[in-house]
């Protein structure tokens, strides 16, 4: 390892330059951190669209990725805060457990897929299947989302400040969906629902945490009609 590959600045930020340090070594350095670590701030330079950057983290550290990444950035995140200053490929924050992932640009397909917890913020747009099979994660998208988003979403909250594509919330369970813009179409068993005071409070907190300039009263809530929980011959065509 060269002195220029991984360097610690006077402010206590450790820099990992991927033009000199391989991806495996970068991830090993981050994954080696623990809850008791003294080194809590990292900067990854020149990611150059690499896949699986900053995956499998399990410590309360802050990681800033300066540039855009490929597949599965910040996948399986736990405790860490990962901030990407560019855009990300498919599967960002996939199977995330806790912590925070912030994307300054756009996110490709299935952002936050199967996420169990934590907060994913996409300040640009998210593509198709955003929040697919989410299991407790909170996702806030400042822009638009693509088709089949929140497909089979089980738990958690998906907040969209822009528009949503076709088949929003298809076959979802108990996840809550909040959309400020237009919804092209709703998926099977997804319906518009009443926005009660507790939902306004929940949404206000999520918007504040995501740094989103919007009022919760501007959103429409969508959720499950609960007709597909058990097979019913009268609804066979919806399965």
In this predicted structure, what is the pLDDT of residue 22?
A: 97
Torsions phi, psi for 112 (to 5 deg) = 70, 20
Going from N- to C-terminal start, the domains of the chain cover 47-228
In this predicted structure, what is the pLDDT of residue 35?
A: 78
Please state, in angstroms and rounded to a whole number, the distance separating the CA atoms of residues 159 and 105: 17
In this predicted structure, what is the pLDDT of residue 6?
A: 47
Count other Cβ atoms within 10 Å, centred on residue 165: 19
In this predicted structure, what is the pLDDT of residue 58?
A: 96
In this predicted structure, what is the pLDDT of residue 233?
A: 60
pLDDT tens-digit profile, the chain (239 residues): 443 354 554 468 999 999 999 999 999 999 999 877 777 999 999 999 999 999 999 999 999 999 999 999 999 999 999 999 999 999 999 999 999 999 999 999 999 999 999 999 999 999 999 999 999 999 999 999 999 999 999 999 999 999 999 999 999 999 999 999 999 999 999 999 999 999 999 999 999 999 999 999 999 999 999 887 665 666 556 55
- pLDDT tens-digit map of 107-125: 999 999 999 999 999 999 9
Long-range CB contacts (< 8 A, 24+ apart) of 7-16?
Answer: 8/39, 11/41, 12/39, 12/40, 12/41, 13/41, 13/42, 13/43, 14/39, 14/41, 14/42, 14/43, 15/42, 15/43, 15/44, 15/45, 16/42, 16/43, 16/44, 16/45
Three-state secondary structure call for residue 187: coil
Please state, in angstroms and rounded to a whole number, the distance separating the CA atoms of residues 144 and 128: 10
The vertex-12 CA angle with 10 and 17, nearest 5°, equals 90
Is the domain defined by 47-228 classed in CATH 1.20.120.160?
no
Output the six-digit token pair for 155. 């738990």
- pLDDT tens-digit map of 141-158: 999 999 999 999 999 999
């Amino acid at each position: 390892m060269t002195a220029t590959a991984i360097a610690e600045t006077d402010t206590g930020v450790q820099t990992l330059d991927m033009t000199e340090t391989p991806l495996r070594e970068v991830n090993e350095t981050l994954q080696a951190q623990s809850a008791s670590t003294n080194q809590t701030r990292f900067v990854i330079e020149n990611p150059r669209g690499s896949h699986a950057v900053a995956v499998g983290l399990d410590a309360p550290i802050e990681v800033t990725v300066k540039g855009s990444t490929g597949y599965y950035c910040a996948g399986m995140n736990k405790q860490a805060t990962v901030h990407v200053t560019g855009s990300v490929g498919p599967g960002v924050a996939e199977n995330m457990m806790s912590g925070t992932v912030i994307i300054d640009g756009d996110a490709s397909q299935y952002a936050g897929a199967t996420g169990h917890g934590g907060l994913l913020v996409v300040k640009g747009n998210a593509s198709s299947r955003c929040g697919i099979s989410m299991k407790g994660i909170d996702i806030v998208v400042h822009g638009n989302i693509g088709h089949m988003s929140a497909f089979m979403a089980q738990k958690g909250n998906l907040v969209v400040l822009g528009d949503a594509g076709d088949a929003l919330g298809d076959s979802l369970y108990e996840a809550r969906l909040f959309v400020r813009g237009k919804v092209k179409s709703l998926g099977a068993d997804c319906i518009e629902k009443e926005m009660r005071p507790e939902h306004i409070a929940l949404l206000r907190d999520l918007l504040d945490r995501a740094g989103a300039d919007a009022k919760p009263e501007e959103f429409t809530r969508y959720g499950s009609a609960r007709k597909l929980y058990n097979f019913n011959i009268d609804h066979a065509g919806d399965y």
